[in-house]
Amino acid sequence: MSDTETPEITDSHCHLDFPDFANELDQVLARAEAAGVTRMVTICTRLRQEPQVREIAETHASVFYAAGTHPMSAAEEPMATVDELLALASHPKFVGIGETGLDYHYTADTARVQQDSLRIHIAAARETGLPLIIHSRAADEDMARILAEEYRNGAFGCVMHCFSSSPELARAALDLGFYLSMSGIATFPKSKEIREIFAAAPLDRVLVETDAPYLAPPPHRGKRNEPAYTAHTARVGAEVFGLDYADFAARTQANFDRLFAKAASWRAAA
Kindly tell me if the per-residue pLDDT of 75 is higher than 70. yes
Cβ atoms 154, 126 nearer than 8 A? yes
* Protein fold of 9-269: TIM Barrel (3.20.20)
What's residue 2's pLDDT?
44
- What rounded mean pLDDT belongs to the chain? 96
What's residue 268's pLDDT?
66
Cβ atoms 216, 235 nearer than 8 A? no
What's residue 1's pLDDT?
47
What's residue 5's pLDDT?
83
What's residue 56's pLDDT?
98
Angle 108-193-138 from CA coordinates, rounded to 5°: 5
Kindly tell me if the per-residue pLDDT of 144 is higher than 80. yes
Domain residue extents for the chain: 9-269
23-59 pLDDT tens trace:
999 999 999 999 999 999 999 999 999 999 999 999 9
77-97 pLDDT tens trace:
999 999 999 999 999 999 999
Residue type, 51: P
Average pLDDT rounded to a whole number, residues 252-262: 98
Residue numbering of the annotated binding site: 13, 15, 99, 135, 161, 211
DSSP lists the bridge partners of residue 160 as 134, 180
Residue 46: burial class (beta carbons within 10 Å; 0-12, 13-18, 19+): middle
Residue numbering of the annotated binding site for a divalent metal cation: 13, 15, 99, 135, 161, 211
Runs of H (alpha helix) within the chain: 25-34, 50-59, 82-88, 104-107, 111-128, 140-153, 167-175, 192-200, 230-241, 245-259, 261-269
